[in-house]
Amino acid sequence: MTTDASAPWLIVGLGNPGPEYAGNRHNVGFMVADLLAERIGGKFKRAGKAQAQVVEGRIGPPGPANRRVVLAKPMSYMNLSGGPVTALRDFYKVPTAHVVAVHDELDIDYGVLRLKLGGGDNGHNGLKSMTKAMGADYHRLRFGIGRPPGRMQVADFVLKDFSSAERKELDYFVDRAADAVECLVTEGLERAQSAYNA
């Protein structure tokens, strides 16, 4: 799949809007997007008609590896993410292969990262909505949150804040996830996978 190297990238942090969700495991995508915005010196603002907040900027060293990026946080709630993401993709003329979804992943241990292109949604409602809206050929950065303890329901687990033990390492893991996104955008998937896929 070839795409124009100069085309912008759309990096989507998946989560739910509102302060009551801000620290939830399900909102780790928002956390990574916020850190990336901080790194490029931008502030999220409402994006025209799209139900999302965006920051535009550049990632990477000066020269050919420097990439134009749009960071986005859909404001539609997780299970409706596909509409805002597709609207932004079309507005900014981003090839689907230059879309990156950053999301929580139950089937990976806490803090472990996995980068991939395409694939299934593994029951993740944000990915399900995106795939339904624009197909599956986008990148994903899966951020491990582990499985719920005991008999806790998955929905309860993902909508709870990280535990105090997890929070001790959360900044480090979010920082590493932001590094992984930058590596993907500037150096490509294989390089990013070999550096960050545990």
Q: Are 54 and 71 in contact (CB under 8 A)?
A: yes
pLDDT of residue 177: 98
- The pLDDT score that the predictor gives to residue 62 is 86
What pTM does this model have?
Answer: 0.95
Quote the pLDDT of residue 2: 46
- In 22-66, where do the E strands start and end? 45-46, 52-59
Q: Any bridge partners for residue 10, and if so which?
A: 70, 99
Helix (H) / strand (E) containing 35: helix 28-39
pLDDT score of 1: 44
**pLDDT per position in the chain (198 positions), as tens?**
445 778 999 999 999 999 999 999 999 999 999 999 999 999 999 877 779 999 999 998 888 888 999 999 999 999 999 999 999 999 999 999 999 999 999 999 999 999 999 999 989 999 999 999 999 999 999 999 999 999 999 999 999 999 999 999 999 999 999 999 999 999 999 999 999 997
Alpha helices in 40-153 (DSSP H): 82-91, 125-134
Name the residue with tokens 């535990």: 163
pLDDT of amino acid 194: 97
Tokens of 151: 């008999």
Catalytic residues: 26
Is 108 within 8 Å of 114 (Cβ atoms)? yes
Report pLDDT for 144.
97
